[in-house]
């Protein structure tokens, strides 16, 4: 019977973890430098081009930083991305999983965590409807009111 040397295995694993964490720190520093450079360079562009590139930056950051935000903010982004449709908790979960959201920190299953998060949102943020027996949600926090949009267009 062979005996495994668990201490050596753990030593190697901790060394590997340390190298990975160091590489992540280096990558985060490089990401911060690139964001800062892009933000400064954007100021050199005319307004229309600046807006286009600023939107590109926002999209890249939103797509790739989804793992570092909390579940509440991730759910808000998912609802915003599916607006104006009503979506189920399962559809929100699927959107979060596709975007790379990390559920490993949550002890409950993803559907339960998302459902709880949605129920805690205020009526100013989310509206609900029932389709059959399933509650569906729609983001409304940033939707301009029609009367205000018409009023602003005339001004």
Task: List strand residue ranges (DSSP E) for the chain, in order.
Answer: 126-131, 134-139
Is residue 73 scored above 70 in pLDDT? yes
pLDDT single digits (tens) 21-65: 888 888 888 888 888 898 899 999 999 999 999 888 888 876 666
> Does the pTM exceed 0.75?
no
Q: Per-residue pLDDT averaged across 98-104, rounded?
A: 80
Residue 14 in 3-state DSSP? helix
Contacts of 82 (CB under 8 A, 6+ apart): 91, 92, 95, 139
Mean pLDDT of 87-105: 87
């Amino acid at each position: 019977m062979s005996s495994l040397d668990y201490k050596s295995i753990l030593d190697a694993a901790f060394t590997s973890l340390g190298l990975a964490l160091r590489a992540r720190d280096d990558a985060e520093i490089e990401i911060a430098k690139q964001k800062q450079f892009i933000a400064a360079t954007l100021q050199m562009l005319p307004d229309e081009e600046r807006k286009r590139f600023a939107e590109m930056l926002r999209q890249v950051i939103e797509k790739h930083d989804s793992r570092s935000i909390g579940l509440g903010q991730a759910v808000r982004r998912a609802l915003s991305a599916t607006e104006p449709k009503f979506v189920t908790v399962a559809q929100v979960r699927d959107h979060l999983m596709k975007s790379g959201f990390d559920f490993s920190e949550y002890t409950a299953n993803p559907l339960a965590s998302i459902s709880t998060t949605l129920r805690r949102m205020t009526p100013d943020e989310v509206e609900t409807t029932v389709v059959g027996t399933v509650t569906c949600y729609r983001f409304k926090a940033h939707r301009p009111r029609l009367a205000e949009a018409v009023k602003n267009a005339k001004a």
